[in-house]
Amino acid sequence: MMRRITALPSLLLLGRSLVCALGIFASVAMAQPVSQQEPARSMEEIRQLLQENQAEKAWQQASALMHQYPLNHDVNFYYGRAAYATGRYAHALFAYERLLGRNPLAHRVRLETGRTYLALNQPENAQRHFEEVLRHDPPPAVRRNVEHLLEQVSRKQQPGRLSGSLSAGLFHDSNVNFGLSSSLGSDLDQILDFSSLKSRSDQGVFAMAGVVYDHRLATVAPWYVTGGAQYYHRGHLDEDDSDLGYARLFGGFWTTGARSMTQVLLKYEDIRLGSEKLSTIVGLEPTYVYSIAPELRSLTALVVERRDQRNNERDSDYLSLQETLRWQYHEGGDSISGSLRLAFDDAEEKEYSSRLWEVRLEHERRVDLWSGRGLMGAHYREVVYGSEGRVPVDSLGTLVKRDDTQIALYASAQRELRPGLLGEIRLQYTDNDSNHPLQHYDKTVFSVAAHYRF
């Protein structure tokens, strides 16, 4: 009898626990359909917006939905469709490849993946996905659609293709002549005429045009020979002597692998300041890009140059090596990148030789207010020159090895105005400190530009 009485509280406690558990399960079961209704309604709105050609609104809603339901299959799919419709092909590809990793038999996703590769001018990858869809005997309507896409692939695989870009904009520069922002001291101001060394501001226009031709070689691997030209001009309203002209010719080859891209270019560059030649450069630029993971890429860039300067004593051999890591931490394309660059400039006169190291950090993300992309970045650079030079520190002068440090902060925002056309605003502040008094300056540059790619 005592055993029954003492066991009764335990039975009551167990019963209460079961009731609570059933209540929790019932609550979850009732809440689950509600949690699924919200993305379903939103995806229906996205589908409707895409049908009405309101792609940008669809993209904004899909991006917000992806933040809330990053693992939902349908959310990823409609995110990819909205990204594709707005020309954000890399974002679409990220979502589709993620879905195929979970379910390789998702043939509708594979079809959209192929279309995205086709838009990215990667016909070999597009063909691979389209043929995989056909291999599983799709319905007649789908088969006709895929066969039509394969015809586009065939046209894309023609031996050559031409692409290019045009840019134009306005700028304001607070220190166009890299002049001094403060006095050197009463004695030196009189000796060096400080008024002529003082910083001057100006504004103007800039424009750039470039064209590239790629020709596919008849080999098994996707090898291309490439060549092109680029010209940039920056004109000032008042400071004509600071006008800059830059012309570049290049040619070489590039190829892609499953997770990499390799490119080697030979180049010729001509740089003019005002009406005078500043520098003529002949060089070699090998570049290697490797996808460590879907969200992590590395870029290794080597630059080897022979520089023919305006002053013969500054003629030099130049070598630069840069390593960059880019981490895309969100499906929306938000990313962080960091790079380290080392450079050596061996001049005819050792006074002008230098060695440089630079670190750079950038953060790119979607900007809701601008409905586009925003970029913030900074770099720190140190340049040490090879031998002592005469520096006017006082009226007699002194010998010192020049050492410069530079910090730059910059921010920009881009928005797609229409397919292929981007609008951009950019602001950059630079501070250059040096033990050479005449090389210390700071400047702020603001620009507004439009970029068109075809």
Domains (range + CATH), the chain: 29-156 (1.25.40.10), 163-453 (2.40.160.40)
pLDDT more than 70, % of the chain: 82
The pLDDT assigned to 25 comes to: 34
Contact assessment for residue 406 and residue 431, using Cβ atoms and an 8 Å cutoff: yes
Three state DSSP letters for 47-97: HHHHHCCCHHHHHHHHHHHHHHCCCCHHHHHHHHHHHHHCCCHHHHHHHHH
pLDDT over 90 (residue 205): yes
pLDDT over 50 (residue 261): yes
Dihedral in degrees, nearest 10, Cα atoms 116, 117, 120, 123 = -140
pLDDT over 80 (residue 78): yes
The pLDDT assigned to 332 comes to: 61
pLDDT over 90 (residue 154): no
Point out the least confidently predicted range of 132-146, 210-224, 345-359. Answer: 210-224
Nearest to 441 by CA among 85, 181, 258, 134: 181
DSSP secondary-structure letter at 371?
A: T
The pLDDT assigned to 38 comes to: 65
pLDDT over 80 (residue 3): no
The pLDDT assigned to 194 comes to: 54
- String of b and e for 225-240 (b: at least 16 CB within 10 Å)? ebbbbbebbbebeebe
The residue among 401 and 25 whose pLDDT is bigger is 401
Q: Give the pairing type, strands 202-216 and 160-173.
A: antiparallel
Q: Note the pLDDT tens digit of each residue in 295-329.
A: 789 999 999 999 999 888 999 999 999 999 999 88
Contact assessment for residue 79 and residue 65, using Cβ atoms and an 8 Å cutoff: yes
pLDDT over 90 (residue 333): no
The pLDDT assigned to 250 comes to: 98
Q: Note the pLDDT tens digit of each residue in 47-76.
A: 888 887 788 888 888 888 888 888 888 889
pLDDT over 80 (residue 292): yes
The pLDDT assigned to 5 comes to: 39
d(CA 265, CA 303): 10
The pLDDT assigned to 288 comes to: 97
Tell me how far apart the terminal alpha carbons of the chain are, to the nearest angstrom: 92
| Backbone angle region of 32, left / alpha / beta, with phi > 0 → left and psi within -120 to 50 → alpha | alpha
d(CA 47, CA 85): 11
The pLDDT assigned to 60 comes to: 87
The residue among 123 and 24 whose pLDDT is bigger is 123
pLDDT over 60 (residue 234): yes
The residue among 438 and 185 whose pLDDT is bigger is 438
Nearest to 217 by CA among 184, 257, 255: 255
The residue among 371 and 343 whose pLDDT is bigger is 343
pTM: 0.68
Measured in degrees and rounded to the nearest 5, phi and psi for residue 204 equal 180, -160
pLDDT over 60 (residue 32): no
Contact assessment for residue 327 and residue 336, using Cβ atoms and an 8 Å cutoff: yes
Q: Note the pLDDT tens digit of each residue in 382-402.
A: 999 876 555 544 444 566 778
CB within 8 Å of 42: residues ≥ 6 apart: 61, 65
